């Protein structure tokens, strides 16, 4: 009996899952690593630390079972970031990850230079932390590092190097670099040339479920594994989380409320928002694409309120208590509205200088009201993305809710009521790592299709239904919410 490995290289930790042929989870391991901030606006990580912790987690899951015959391994990874390697596959500097903001000047330059071509070629606006902006910053500000670089790649692709494979990337993750042609499903020669970047830096591209090689004999020996040990190209964490939640067909929508908030839906052809309020990227499923909306401060808004406003030296609040207090409130929170723009906003405003606010705060509002207003404000930010999907002709038929926010039954009720649609959650542990395992299983031929894999492996809890009596209040509240950003924008930092 062979097993399959999925690796999710996240921003704060790496998670490794081991699945058997029947799609049952055998083992799970997690290792943390630091985020480096050497200067204000910088966000870096050490690729060698990624590998060190990944290797340790691999050992844990493998040593937990007696049979270490591995059929295939694949990857999920934090998106957008930049890893630069020399001729010997050694990193020339720390990886510049998605949270990095040093390239603000380069973003404005690229946006102006490629204004008419961003939508039809890349399917998205450029942002700080995207590989295209970060690499352009290095070229302009650290030519010594740029000239040492032989290969550039995304974070998870570095792990393939350590498994003994040559440089490569995949259509789904590479689409998030803004150096990619989402129609041709390959690097954009036009954008790379316009930015005067060396085309030789970019590795070959594969579909996410393609076999790209095998784990080298030396690494197999180190890990004490046997079997084919095929390496499957992999995808970004949003794509793999979609797979791990069963989102593979048009009309299926995944909403994730973690630190940020993401709204993901599969499309059968590349549809691009002309205003670039959302991203259009390639999906991990062959010949499909997806729309992606992003709210920067979703769960982080509630975390900020708890840790920075409520918690003190004498008492620390827990989320379940706050959830109970918020549940005593009423829909619309007696007019209190929260704007979750604490670190700017991406969808739909694309405004890094937007700021958060409580509106209509009154002496009668209590702690639970403010918690509920935060949940409602984040839910309306999520609805912004769903509304854009609908503008583009994509109607959600099945909504899946994931992430830490989905653990709150109240938040599930609030969000489902704003969307006026039932929400389901999966019973899957570690959806992104499981999505990587699905890629390994489909790519190696164990399952004939993604539909077969999802049918076998993904199970859902009972749906949470919307509260019909909240609809009139929430419809009115959402219209007010949408009017607040343009009204307050003149007061944001310039």
Confirm if 166 and 231 have CB atoms less than 8 A apart.
no
Q: Residues with Cβ < 8 Å from 231, sequence gap 6 or more?
A: 72, 73, 74, 160, 163, 165, 211, 212, 213, 214, 215
Residue 332 and residue 427: Cα distance in Å, rounded? 31
Give the Cα separation of 25 and 230 in Å (integer): 19
* Cα 364 to Cα 269: distance, rounded to the nearest angstrom: 51
Q: Which tokens hold the place of 151? A: 């290969």
Q: What are 372's strand-pairing partners?
A: none
Say how far apart CA 338 and CA 334 lie, in whole Å: 12
Cα torsion angle, 292, 282, 78, 463, sign: positive
Task: Please indicate whether residue 237 is annotated as part of the active site.
Answer: yes
Q: What are the start-end ranges of the H helices in 233-366?
A: 237-244, 299-304, 319-327
For residue 54 the two structure tokens come to 């990944």
Tokens of 406: 């989905």
The residue whose two tokens read 């670190």 is: 343
Q: Catalytic: which of 157, 170, 173, 237? A: 237
Helices 367-391 and 409-419, packing angle to 10 deg:
40
d(C-alpha 4, C-alpha 456), whole Å: 15
What b/e readout covers 163-199, taking b as 16+ CB neighbours within 10 angstroms? bbbebbbbbbbbbbbbbbbbbebbbbeebbeebebee
Nearest-angstrom CA–CA distance, 423 and 404:
15
Q: What are phi and psi of 349, to 5 degrees?
A: -90, -25
Question: CA distances (Å), 337 to each of 89, 113, 365, 371, 381, in order?
Answer: 51, 38, 11, 11, 12
Q: Which residues are catalytic?
A: 237
């Amino acid at each position: 009996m062979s097993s399959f490995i999925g690796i999710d290289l996240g921003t704060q930790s790496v998670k490794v899952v081991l699945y058997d042929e029947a799609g049952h989870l055998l083992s799970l391991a997690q290792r943390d690593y630091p985020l480096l901030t050497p200067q204000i606006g910088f966000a870096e990580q050490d690729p060698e630390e990624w590998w060190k912790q990944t290797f340790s987690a691999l050992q844990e899951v493998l040593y937990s079972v007696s049979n270490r015959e591995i059929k295939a391994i694949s990857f999920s990874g934090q998106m957008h970031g930049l890893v630069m390697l020399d001729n010997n596959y050694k990193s020339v500097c720390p990886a510049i990850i998605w949270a990095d903001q040093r390239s603000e000047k380069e973003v404005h330059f690229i946006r102006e230079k490629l204004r008419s071509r961003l939508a039809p070629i890349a399917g998205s606006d450029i942002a700080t932390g995207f590989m295209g902006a970060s690499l352009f910053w290095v070229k302009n500000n650290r030519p010594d590092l740029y000239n040492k670089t032989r290969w550039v790649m995304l974070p998870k692709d570095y792990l393939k190097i350590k498994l003994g494979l040559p440089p490569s990337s995949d259509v789904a993750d590479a689409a998030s670099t803004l150096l990619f042609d989402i129609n041709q499903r390959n690097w954009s020669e036009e954008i790379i040339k316009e930015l005067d970047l060396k085309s030789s830096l970019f590795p070959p591209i594969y579909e996410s479920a393609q076999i790209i090689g095998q784990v080298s004999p030396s690494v197999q020996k180190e890990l004490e594994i046997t079997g084919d040990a095929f390496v499957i190209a992999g995808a970004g964490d949003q794509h793999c989380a979609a797979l791990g939640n069963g989102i593979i067909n048009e009309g299926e929508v995944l909403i994730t409320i973690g630190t940020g908030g993401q709204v993901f839906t599969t499309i059968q052809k590349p549809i691009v928002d002309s205003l670039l309020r959302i991203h259009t990227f390639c999906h991990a499923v062959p010949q499909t694409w997806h729309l992606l909306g992003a709210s920067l401060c979703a769960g982080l808004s509630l975390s900020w309120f708890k840790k920075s406003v409520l918690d003190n030296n004498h008492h620390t609040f827990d989320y379940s208590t706050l959830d109970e207090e918020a549940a005593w409130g009423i829909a619309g929170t007696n007019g209190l509205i929260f704007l979750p723009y604490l670190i700017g906003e991406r969808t739909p405003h694309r405004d890094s200088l937007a700021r958060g606010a409580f509106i209509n705060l009154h002496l009668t509002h209590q702690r639970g009201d403010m918690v509920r207003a935060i949940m409602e404000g984040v839910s309306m930010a999520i609805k912004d993305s769903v509304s854009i999907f609908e503008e583009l002709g994509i109607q959600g038929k099945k909504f899946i809710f994931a992430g830490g926010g989905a653990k709150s039954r109240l938040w599930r009720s609030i969000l489902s009521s704003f969307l006026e649609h039932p929400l389901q959650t999966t019973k899957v542990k570690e959806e992104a790592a499981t999505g990587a395992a699905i890629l390994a299983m489909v790519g190696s031929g164990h399952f004939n299709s993604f539909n077969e894999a999802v049918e076998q492996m993904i199970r859902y809890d009972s749906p949470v239904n919307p509260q019909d009596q909240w609809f009139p209040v929430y419809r009115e509240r959402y219209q007010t919410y949408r009017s607040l950003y343009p009204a307050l924008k003149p007061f944001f930092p310039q």
